[in-house]
Amino acid sequence: MRSCTVLPFILASLALPAAAQDTFTPEKLGVEAHIAEGPNVLVLDQSWNGPSKIDVLGADEGLKMKGNMGPGTTAQMVLSRDGKSLYTGSVYMQRFVYGPVTVILHEWDLATLSRKREFEIPTKFAHVESQPGLFALSDDEAYLLAQNATPATSVSVIDLKAEKAIAEIPTPGCWTAIPATGMKFTTICGDGTLASYAWAADGSFAEPKKSAKIFDPDADALFANPVRAEGKLIYLSFNGNLYVVDDSGEAPVLAETVKLTDGVIGKWAPGGSEAIAYNAATGKLFILMHSGAKEGSHKDPAQEIWTVDLASKKVVGRSPAHHENTLAVSKGDAPVLFAASEEGNLTRYAYAEADGEVTLTKAGEFEGLSSFPALITTDF
């Protein structure tokens, strides 16, 4: 009897006029020609088991996703000084676990997130975690310096106009290629020295000019990637010391050392992948720090971000961190910090200074942005 009652109801519903039903309007999808205007933060999500990606987000508190670019595996990146072109180097594996590989240098247009051009570079390109000292533009941005490892170390000098490598400079026992003034770079070596290498437009290069011993690799090892401030390189040590190096001459020279953690209770030390950033407009260094430091903890995530005034060489701020191990800072007079954690979260920090004291306050977060956020850069 119940079915006899339901059937007329169903038939009546089917007989309702079309006007009584909701009108379906299909969504129209399209592709924007340009990303939204405004400052950006770029986060390289490096992959070792497939394509890497570079996420481009608005740099305000909302951290709104604008889009992404997709280079190959074990990617490196560097942004041009004007913020218009992003260069990436990455690997394409024919059979992935064996066989030939191709290494491609891409130039991307940041405004449209599209490829401008691409060409092959030497396959000795190092398959390693992204670091700024492994893939860098020369001082005049006419060349790109790419770190090689076979595992023997060398640096490929790539002529961007000619779209080819013009030199492979052997750098035995040394790592990174930090651009210096002119056609020259500085590298850090395992024996506690630094070395300068110079090249010419025809691909020729000079013998390295090595420094005297600058640091003790056993007692106070250095993070390999420095920042450049006021023309000098500032290296950060595992123990929390700053080594200020002048590489403007033929060979690097130690200009000064600064101890940041002496007398500080809690055994504080730097940690992370990219643990130091510098804002020239304010003259401030920012360092990821953790307590309870011990042998091997130089990769530990941050509990605090310390602000160091470069003029006074003093710590002028200690702000809470959120488990980050990579950071970057904007270039302007009102610096904005961005830091990423191993969990893939990106945190934005606002900067405030009063009576000589600096405070960094969490002002935005994008949770679960990346799997391996190895490198961050900004275009402002």
pLDDT for residue 21: 62
pLDDT for residue 8: 46
Helix (H, G, I), strand (E, B) or coil at 19: helix
pLDDT for residue 7: 45
Say how far apart CA 163 and CA 134 lie, in whole Å. Answer: 19
Is residue 363 within 8 Å of 346, Cβ to Cβ?
Answer: no
pLDDT for residue 25: 87
Q: How many CB atoms lie within 10 A of CB 31?
A: 6
Tokens coding 115: 């490829």
**Residue 336's closest CA among 350, 346, 324, 347?**
350
Say how far apart CA 326 and CA 43 lie, in whole Å. Answer: 10
Q: Is the peptide bond before 151 cis (omega within 30 degrees of 0)?
A: yes
Helix (H, G, I), strand (E, B) or coil at 59: coil
Per-residue pLDDT tens over the stretch 49-88: 999 999 999 999 999 999 999 999 999 999 999 999 999 9
pLDDT for residue 10: 42
The domain ranges of the chain are: 263-379
Which pTM was predicted?
A: 0.92
Helix (H, G, I), strand (E, B) or coil at 128: coil
CA 254 to chain centre: 26
pLDDT for residue 4: 47
Tokens coding 294: 């011990």
pLDDT for residue 27: 86
pLDDT for residue 16: 47
Say how far apart CA 341 and CA 360 lie, in whole Å. Answer: 17
Say how far apart CA 63 and CA 365 lie, in whole Å. Answer: 7
Q: In the chain, which stretches have pLDDT less than 50?
A: 1-4, 6-12, 14, 16
Q: SS3 helix, strand, coil % of the chain, rounded to 5?
A: 5, 50, 45
Say how far apart CA 282 and CA 278 lie, in whole Å. Answer: 9
pLDDT for residue 361: 98
